[in-house]
Amino acid sequence: MGWFLKTFNYSVGKKLLMALTGFFLILFLCIHLFGNSFLYLGRDAFNNYVHFLNETDLVYIIRVIEIILVLGFAFHIWDGIRLWWQNRKARPVKYFVKTVDPKSTWTSRNMIYSALIIFVFLIIHLRNFWYEFKYGSIKETGATDYDIVVKTFQDPVYMIFYVVAMVFLFLHLHHGFQSAFQTLGINHKKYTPFIVWFGRVIAFVLSAGFASFPIYFFFFYGGN
């Protein structure tokens, strides 16, 4: 146990935890995007999918995954803030000259800000859907889970908010994916360009995939 605590007391250890939770959260996003794609198959397909998750024996597994998910988000955010604070403290401020590593990108220097926007998004998102599906009073009017999603995305404020948030998700993942590999020590002349490319593809597919739902339901959905 001692070695474990020691490892996670060092800065690298903290980053390691952030990298591992980051991979786990990306895996969750891939599964979540797949699940949301039932929205394109229509009301019954999506409602049956949500029913399958929440009202069959699978619900026990889902509850365990939810706890792991909350812990994953919590560790990721906690270590991100600690790391950002450490880097801030380590920055020389003596001469009021902004010292910026020329190799670092704007996105990599501003991960904390994209993270903050994604965090605000997550709170609003859980209120919109997770809470509404379980406890929302709109259900008393006979609205189904599918209707809740459609109604949310037909509101221009939410439509724009979701799409803008997905731009920040793209920026966050764009740097985060390759950074996690570096933290794990996977830095190779031959493989790193592929990892960078693959990270960009994942960032694009996830953020464009998620952004496609508000865009579709706002601009193209004819009702069914």
Q: Give the footprint of ligand HEM on this chain (CB under 6 A).
A: 29, 32, 36, 50, 53-54, 62, 66, 69, 118, 122, 125-126, 129-130, 133, 149, 162, 169, 210, 213
Contact 49, 38 (CB under 8 A): yes
Contact 138, 148 (CB under 8 A): yes
- Shortest Å, Cβ 120 to ligand HEM: 11
User: Closest CB to ligand HEM among 20 and 65?
Assistant: 65
- Shortest Å, Cβ 211 to ligand HEM: 6
User: Closest CB to ligand HEM among 26 and 195?
Assistant: 26
User: Closest CB to ligand HEM among 24 and 133?
Assistant: 133
User: Closest CB to ligand HEM among 90 and 123?
Assistant: 123
User: Closest CB to ligand HEM among 15 and 76?
Assistant: 76
Buried b (16+ CB within 10 A) or exposed e, 100-135: eeeeeeebeebbeebbebbeebeeebeebbeebbee
- Shortest Å, Cβ 95 to ligand HEM: 39
Amino acid at 24: F
- Shortest Å, Cβ 193 to ligand HEM: 27
Q: What angle do CA 30, 204, 170 make, to 5 degrees?
A: 90
**Pick from 102, 88, 32: nearest CA to 65:** 32
Structure tokens at 24: 């786990």
Structure tokens at 74: 């919590």
How many Å apart are CA 41 and CA 8, to the nearest integer?
45
- Shortest Å, Cβ 46 to ligand HEM: 8
